[in-house]
């Protein structure tokens, strides 16, 4: 009845060893994520320049050793958060562009989806704002990748006749991303993250009208 149970003590020892190894790894991940979450709150409140490692440690209750094990500097901590935002961008762009939707609707859906994430995820919000700090991302590569992806969708909308072929529309991807960042900065500075989606919707209405969510086939002209 018990033939299927492996009673080999060597196997049992190896299994216990792997389980024992996983526990410290899980604790380390939990510590890292806790530090990153507390740091994100701190960066959102005081900005990158005003943030201090000692203040973050007071919030988390972790030791300096634990902090520096994961993040040897404030810069590395900020870069970790910015890279997390970069992952959110890549995943969201992939999801939106995979949908069978007209290009004009895709650009609106992309900005709205990102606004929803940023509204409710303070870690992603910090990552976005930190990705524009020269000390964190000197060449703004994450922001540039975002505007490039948005511009590709805008170009598709122009070719499909959903947007007029104008100089203003050729810059629309950059304009919408810059406006998005401004909306997040204002909402964060005022302590009103719940208003981010509404602010982004207002930008989309200004540049695209109310059409993107309902009727993407009619060409839109700059107002």
Report how far apart, in Å, the C-alpha atoms of 155 and of each of 24, 100, 110, 150 are: 49, 17, 15, 9
pLDDT of 11 > 60? The answer is no
Average pLDDT, the chain: 84
Q: Please give the model's pTM, rounded to 2 decimal places.
A: 0.80
What pLDDT is attached to residue 119?
96
According to DSSP, residue 221 is labeled -
Closest CA to 89 of 173, 157, 149, 175: 149
Token pair for 82: 């910015």
Residue with tokens 């930008």: 203
What pLDDT is attached to residue 5?
38
Tens of pLDDT, residues 160-215: 999 888 878 889 999 999 999 999 999 999 999 999 999 999 999 988 875 444 44
Helix, strand, or coil (residue 138): coil
Q: Residue 189 contacts by C-beta under 8 Å, 6 or more apart in sequence?
A: none
Q: Give first-to-last CA distance, the chain, whole Å.
A: 79
Q: Which residue has the higher pLDDT, 68 or 138?
A: 138
Token pair for 183: 């909306």
pLDDT of 155 > 80? The answer is yes
**How far apart, in whole angstroms, are the C-alpha atoms of residue 186 and residue 107?**
22
């Amino acid at each position: 009845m018990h033939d299927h149970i492996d009673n080999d003590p060597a196997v049992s020892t190896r299994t216990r060893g792997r389980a024992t190894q996983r526990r410290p790894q899980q604790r380390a991940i939990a510590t890292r994520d806790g530090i990153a979450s507390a740091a994100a709150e701190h960066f959102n409140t005081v900005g990158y320049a005003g943030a201090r490692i000692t203040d973050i440690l007071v919030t988390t209750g972790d030791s300096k050793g634990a902090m520096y094990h994961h993040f040897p500097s404030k810069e590395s901590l900020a870069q970790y958060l910015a890279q997390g935002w970069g992952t959110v961008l890549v995943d969201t762009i992939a999801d939106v562009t995979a949908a069978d939707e007209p290009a004009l609707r895709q650009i609106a859906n992309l900005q709205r989806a990102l606004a929803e994430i940023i509204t409710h995820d303070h870690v992603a919000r910090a990552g976005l704002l930190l990705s524009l700090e020269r000390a964190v991302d000197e060449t703004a590569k994450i922001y540039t990748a975002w505007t490039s992806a948005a511009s590709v969708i805008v170009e598709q909308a122009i070719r499909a006749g959903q947007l007029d072929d104008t100089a203003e529309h050729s810059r629309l991807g950059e304009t919408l991303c810059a406006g998005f960042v401004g909306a997040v900065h204002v909402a964060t500075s005022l302590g009103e993250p719940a208003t981010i989606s509404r602010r982004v919707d207002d930008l989309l209405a200004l540049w695209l009208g109310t059409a993107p969510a309902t009727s993407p086939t009619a060409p839109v002209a700059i107002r």
